[in-house]
Amino acid sequence: MLVSTPTHCPYCGLQCAMTITHETAASTAPAIPGGTVTVTGRSFPTNRGGLCQKGWTSAELLRNPDRLIAPLVRRGGRLRPTTWEHALGVVADGVESVRAEHGPDAVAVFGGGGLTNEKAYQLGKFARVALGTSNVDYNGRFCMSSAAAAAGRAFGLDRGLPFPVRDLTAACAILLLGGNVAETMPPFLGHLQAAADAGGLIVADPRRTATVERALSGGGIHLQLRPGTDLPLALGLLHIAVTDGRIDRDYIADRTEGFEDAWLAAAQWWPERTERVTGVSVTQLRRTVEILWRARQSDTGAYILTARGAEQHASGTDAVSAVINLALALGLPGRRGSGYGPITGQGNGQGGREHGQKADQLPGYRKITDPAARAHVARVWGVDPESLPGPGRSAYELLDALGTPDGPRALMVHGANVAVSAPRAGHVVERLAALDLLVVSDFLLSETAAMADVVLPVLQWAEEEGTITSLEGRVLRRRRAVPAPTGPRSELDVLADLAGRLGQPVGRFRTDPQAVFEELRAASAGGPADYSGISYPRLDSGEDVHWPCPAGPDAGVRHPGTPRLFLDRFATDNGRARFVAVEHGGPAESVDAAFPLVATTGRVLAHYQSGAQTRRIDELSTAAGPMFVQVHPDTATRMGVVDGQPAAVRSRRGRTLATVRCDEGMRLDTVFLPFHFAGDERANLLTNPALDPTSRMPEFKACAVTLEPAVSAATAVEKGAVA
């Protein structure tokens, strides 16, 4: 019997629509659902029937032989299978012991941007109510926090793309800073086709990526800037726009404030200075402004987009603010056919940061320091507002404090693999090892789970019900498409069980996803991210709903949702967007004789995030090949390394092993490493945990390194190569 279920891809924030077809049959192994499972692309505005290689192979996750089936508890130094009763008892006893000795903040929670809205909401509630801890954050801090902070201070609201993806399809000019969508989300590239064909696709990236190649093939521009100079690039573009008369003064007067202060900062970045600092020629700078301005003036559509390359810096918030300033000066945000927006990376990176996983937020994107917000959410949860903790540590600060005298002694991890994905990963692994209790909920034994004291096997994407929110603020239904194997449990069940063991009343933590979503609706009502007008029946009917979508006073009249934000006013107190004056300070660390190159990191087509899932799919691992360091041939010669041979990449924090991949499209001063690999091949052994003062984003995209032929680990230590 064939059963087909419409759902969405488990990977990136584009959330491509797909259909899962399951042929029911007798199960052949406890870890594998009975029968075969196939995936086909489904027509939808974001992917238009297409899928990338990861999407096409996603069914392999459902029958992977490494699937976790039984809970694991560490005994005698090894993880051994046990019962749920025993495993949850170990967790509850360990948490109670740590809280009794060190207080509630000694227990921490680290969530993930791949969790459904229901699980993200419940995890934040569990941390603050059942554990009473302020120490809860998630891996989305490493993804969208700088863009979110900059959008919040400019527009009063952050929602990833404030317009539907399909709006990009007709645009003839698009500036993309720090994104390689041809590899990270290939179906997205189709929406840039018109701009590319018109010669209006402009990509700012230190590398000549597949996205850059698409831009150049149509006569577009590659702004091959030095890593960490996105901010002065944007300042220089704004300078040219003002001095060449390419700004919308009526829009600035009518819809914004703060332009003069922003201009005073940009006035210092004359074109020649911008070229000297960024490496981008004056000719390219002027042509970029002219392409955007002409498209804006002719109403053929002009957009500016940012992604992690521009945002994952210790000055990432200011860099995005500088880009927003440029967009505002051109008159793009809040208009049909033009705009600015950041591209969300993780599958539910948007919803995951809206409903309580972040250290400083409550559900509905409410601030945890706001008394009215605390009172509203506490009322929904049935607790005293005074019992809710305040803001806690951000993601890296939380990890850095693990096992220290004043830091958390126990950590619960859900949907994250911090042993690979966190900056200064070697240090983070040391902090994890210092814990009294590490609990990981996952469906595969990730590198972080392998370190745990308790591993709890949970359901994965096609085995559960729930909702997710895509990069354009569209709320989507995730449907159960295949039966789960015997053994794993829903994280909603796990959290409810643990809450009961920790003394919470029966029923406070619901286990039915729809019931949890109903509570989420109530908790978000009236907040910036208002989901109160969205319901499972409404989503199941196929309706297209973007938040904010308030319920309204009349239950018989549905709010249509808000696919396009800011058309009438911005979400600030006076309805005006704010220019924010910013200055360039440069990367957090400089190159020198010992570390003469700048390393930047990113993704490749066949892998996703830490690779914990995709490295287990043979087709994807074969396509991606081994860990590599991409370098210009002349730089390779200068550093004494050879194309195709192993090399060691060293920074002030650690050493990574990789195969040399020479590419004449690379800058002479830059090397690139993908961050999907584990062990000694972790790119994040190198990266700098210097934090943005506003968003607390680590500086993933620029660290000083040297490159040398690979030597044994023992020799490297003798040479002082490992920090």
Name the residue among 604, 601, 610 with its Cα closest to residue 417.
Answer: 610
Determine the pLDDT at residue 347.
Answer: 87
Taking the CA atoms of residue 296, residue 302, residue 307 and residue 313 in that order, the dihedral angle to the nearest 10 degrees is -10
Name the residue among 224, 235, 342 with its Cα closest to residue 289.
Answer: 235
Q: What confidence tens digit (pLDDT) does each residue in 445-492 have?
A: 999 999 999 999 999 999 999 999 999 999 999 999 999 999 999 999
Integer Cα distance of 418 and 399 in angstroms: 9
Q: Look up residue 541 and give its two tokens.
A: 């009917």
Domains of the chain: 2-63 (2.20.25.90), 72-137+357-540 (3.40.50.740), 145-342 (3.40.228.10), 597-718 (2.40.40.20)
Name the residue among 603, 616, 574, 624 with its Cα closest to residue 675.
Answer: 603
Q: What confidence tens digit (pLDDT) does each residue in 201-255 have?
A: 999 999 999 999 999 999 999 999 999 999 999 999 999 999 999 999 999 999 9
In degrees rounded to 5, what are phi and psi of residue 630? -90, 130
pLDDT average, residue stretch 129-136: 98
Per the CB < 8 A criterion, the answer to whether 114 and 464 are in contact is no
Determine the pLDDT at residue 504.
Answer: 97
pLDDT average, residue stretch 98-123: 97
Determine the pLDDT at residue 25.
Answer: 60
Q: What confidence tens digit (pLDDT) does each residue in 398-442 have?
A: 999 999 999 999 999 999 999 999 999 999 999 999 999 999 999
Integer Cα distance of 105 and 1 in angstroms: 51
Pairing of strands 221-223, 201-204: parallel
pLDDT average, residue stretch 588-613: 96
Q: Look up residue 590 and give its two tokens.
A: 């400089």
pTM, rounded to two decimals: 0.95
Q: Look up residue 335 and give its two tokens.
A: 């208009």
Integer Cα distance of 558 and 556 in angstroms: 6
Q: Which residue has the tokens 């034994």?
A: 445
Q: Look up residue 403 and give its two tokens.
A: 């096992």
Integer Cα distance of 715 and 450 in angstroms: 28
Per the CB < 8 A criterion, the answer to whether 412 and 92 are in contact is no
**What band does 557 get if pLDDT is binned at 50, 70 and 90?**
confident
Single-letter amino acid, residue 46: T
Q: Which residues pair with 671 in a beta bridge?
A: 599
Taking the CA atoms of residue 491, residue 424, residue 611 and residue 393 in that order, the dihedral angle to the nearest 10 degrees is 20
Q: What is the DSSP code (8-state) at residue 32?
A: B
pLDDT > 90: percent of the chain: 92
Q: Look up residue 322 and give its two tokens.
A: 């500088």
Single-letter amino acid, residue 23: E
Q: Summarize the chain as % helix, strand, coil (round to 5).
A: 35, 20, 45
Is residue 360 classed exposed, middle or buried when 0-12, 13-18 and 19+ CB atoms within 10 A define those classes? middle
The angle subtended at Cα 442 by Cα 408 and Cα 68, nearest 5°, is 135
- Cis (ω within 30 of 0) for the bond into 548? yes
Radius of gyration of the chain (CA): 25
Determine the pLDDT at residue 715.
Answer: 47
Q: What confidence tens digit (pLDDT) does each residue in 520-550 have?
A: 999 999 999 999 999 999 999 988 899 999 9
pLDDT average, residue stretch 175-187: 97
Residues 6+ apart with CB under 8 A from 220: 195, 196, 199, 200, 201, 202, 203, 214
Determine the pLDDT at residue 543.
Answer: 84
Q: Which residue has the tokens 């995709």?
A: 614
Give the chain's count of helices (H) and strands (E): 26, 29
pLDDT average, residue stretch 308-321: 97
Integer Cα distance of 192 and 170 in angstroms: 8
Q: Look up residue 113 and give its two tokens.
A: 């941007």
Is residue 287 classed exposed, middle or buried when 0-12, 13-18 and 19+ CB atoms within 10 A define those classes? middle
HEC readout, 523-568 = HHCCCCCCCCCCCHHHHHCCCCCECCCCCCCCCCCCCCCCCCCCCC
